[in-house]
Amino acid sequence: MKIPKRIQPLIDDGIIDSVISRLMSGKEADVFVVRCGTETRCAKVYKEAAKRSFKQAVTYQEGRKVRNSRRSRAMEKGSKFGRKETETIWQSAEVDALFKLADAGVRVPTPYVCVDGVLLMELICGADGDVAPRLGDILLSPETALAHHATLMDYVVKMLCAGLVHGDLSEFNVLVDEQGPVIIDLPQVINAAANNNAARFFARDVNNITAYYGLYAPELLATRYDGEIWSLFEAGELHPESELTGVYQEDTRLTDVDSLLDELEAVEIEELERLERLSDEALMG
């Protein structure tokens, strides 16, 4: 097949020997199966910002630290240099997350190198040697669904303890091999402590996965792992070995805003009337 333009430098440098096939085309990257010596790996070629259809990228990037003040200013101004730096950070976020999560005990593809927008990493394969299927492409027994769901809840806990939220987790971003689920696609990974949207994205991740496995094990649909895990995290009580129950009692004591406004208005009116009476009394006196 025709060698993608951005992979050619890696072939010229001897990092990649050949491109075997295109594996998939996604919203932020194209993925190719490549040959590196005696090993078959995958090369993720990130799309340029203008060609990337991943929405609300700024929302995901909130809280990502840039140590160099010059780079930070350039990114804020949106200069050519700044845009390039933004792209570099977007790409390096996945590499950093892959190393960090692997160390935390989360199953992710092993990253090898990222050069000029091309991430070379492990190719996850099934028992037959072919590329492992996505979770959304396989059928599950109720027992397997429960076991895999428990594994992924363990992974999201470990991710959160490492300070990260996937941000786009679903049956399309999980591969399944003989050992179970493998989490993939992390360029939009979120800083759990510094991103104001982290709780919302975490809940969506957990609920996406629970809803999918709930198709095979309906009892999962009554669980609230999102609230249970996040409440432990906020309380500083979450750790990688936390035992989960799936039970969470949400505080439903909501403030009646209309009643509160009415009460404040009544107090204000009462005070105005009091001041008016005092004024009248002063004039009469």
**Nearest CA to 154 among 181, 123, 132, 193?**
181
State residue 75's pLDDT score.
42
In terms of phi and psi (left: phi > 0; alpha: psi -120 to 50; beta: otherwise), the region of 167 is left
The pLDDT, as a whole number, for residue 279 is: 66
For the chain, give every domain's residue range.
Answer: 8-234
- Superfamily per CATH, domain 8-234: Transferase(Phosphotransferase) domain 1 (1.10.510.10)
pTM of the predicted structure, to 2 decimals: 0.78
Tell me the Cα Rg of the chain. 26
- Residue 228: which residues within 8 A CB-CB, separation 6 or more? 244, 245, 246, 247, 248
Could you tell me if 226 and 209 are in contact, meaning their C-beta atoms sit under 8 angstroms apart? no
Count Cα atoms within 13 angstroms, Cβ side, for 238.
24
Beta bridge partners, 191, equal: 164
Handedness of CA 31, 99, 153, 63 (dihedral sign): negative
Tokens of 43: 């090369």
Residue 122, burial from CB neighbour count under 10 angstroms (0-12, 13-18, 19+): middle
Identify the residue whose tokens are 């091309």.
Answer: 118
Q: How far is CA 193 from CA 4, 62, 200, in A?
A: 38, 10, 13
Asked whether the beta carbons of 210 and 149 are under 8 A apart, the reply is yes
What pLDDT score was predicted for residue 120? Answer: 96
Please say whether the beta carbons of 190 and 165 come within 8 A.
Answer: yes
Question: Is residue 49 classed as helix, strand or coil in its secondary structure?
Answer: helix
* Residue 243 to residue 225: CA distance in whole angstroms: 11
DSSP sequence for 105-136 = T---PPEEEEETTEEEEEPPB-TTSSBPPBGG
Residue ranges in the chain assigned as alpha helix (H): 8-12, 57-61, 69-77, 80-104, 142-161, 198-213, 225-234, 257-284
The Cα diameter of the chain in Å comes to 103
pLDDT per residue of the chain (285 residues) written in tens, 0 to 9: 789 899 999 999 999 999 999 999 887 899 999 999 999 999 999 987 655 444 555 555 555 454 555 544 544 555 655 456 666 677 788 999 999 999 999 999 999 999 988 999 999 998 888 999 999 999 999 999 999 999 999 999 999 999 999 999 999 999 999 999 999 999 889 999 999 999 999 999 999 999 999 999 999 999 999 999 999 999 999 999 999 999 998 766 555 666 667 666 766 776 676 676 666 656 665
90 vs 94, 117, 124, 155, 170, CA distance in Å?
7, 10, 23, 23, 20
